[in-house]
Amino acid sequence: AGGSSEWREFFWNPRTHELLGRTAASWGLILLFYLIFYLCLAGMFAFTMYIMLLTLDDYKPTWQDRLATPGMMIRPKGNQLEITFSTSDTESWDGFVHNLNSFLSPYNDSYQVQTNDECTPDEYFIQEDSGEVRNNPKRSCQFNRTILEECSGVWDRFYGYDKGQPCILIKLNRVIGMLPGKDRQSPYVTCAAKREDSDKIGLLAYYPPNGTFNLMYYPYYGKKAQVNYTQPLVAVKFLNASLNTDINVECKVTSNTLAAGSDRDKFAGRVSFKLRINDK
């Protein structure tokens, strides 16, 4: 009983009017101290964030610790970078066709003519700022869908999937300010089967010719500065790949300024995928 009485008196002492051992004035002072303390911390945090934001550029990263070589990706991606379908089963490749149609819709010639410029091939499209005066929004070069010819979806609306001659689109990841070539030599894509499948891949056709990412689409100035930028593509068409078997394919970019891809990063300057074409 005595212990219970002491606990109640500690919680509230009616004689000294203390709550948990402190008077109202003491509680007021300590709460005021912590209020001021945390307001000062919040103010310091807000001030440091403000100073940091002053160093940032809305159009270009202040620091750009990028890979020596940008990554690559394919369209359609399929499941886990696997393109598997049967020529006789429309449903097996209809999703790939819809994926490509959706991806290529911004590349329609009519849209490109309205929004982008016709540029000089094999030359960088440099658009520098004038001191503190921004040269924004920056213009972009046309990449017309019909450049992809047999893989444009214009002449062959099924992109060859119904004939067992599928088209795969390849894109190089965007990197602000990257200059991927010199001496008017554009980077280009080559695809080949892994060693064990070298006799299965057959002939390949590249669009645009030679599979190049033309220099006129570089440098890229960022999404905010270059709102209508259209990323260049390379299409690879498999003309007579072996049927009913897995083919492990690797596509890589070759450039006279970009470093060769590293074994530690399988997407640096290259992309690997599995292709299987069934005929029943």
pLDDT greater than 80 at residue 3? no
Q: What is the pLDDT of residues 210-225, one digit of tens each?
A: 999 999 999 999 888 8
What topology is assigned to 70-276 in CATH? Immunoglobulin-like (2.60.40)
Closest CA to 100 of 212, 219, 208, 237: 237
> What pLDDT, on the 0 to 100 scale, is given for residue 213?
96
Q: Cβ-count burial of 223 within 10 angstroms (0-12 exposed, 13-18 middle, 19+ buried)?
A: exposed
Mean per-residue pLDDT of the chain: 89
Average pLDDT over residues 23-43: 92
- Cβ atoms 115, 228 nearer than 8 A: yes
Q: Which pTM does this prediction carry?
A: 0.79
DSSP class of residue 224 equals T
2 pLDDT band (50/70/90 cuts)? low
Q: What is the pLDDT of residues 161-217, one digit of tens each?
A: 999 999 999 999 998 889 999 999 999 999 999 888 889 999 999 999 999 999 999
Average pLDDT over residues 60-71: 73
> What pLDDT, on the 0 to 100 scale, is given for residue 248?
95
> What pLDDT, on the 0 to 100 scale, is given for residue 14?
75
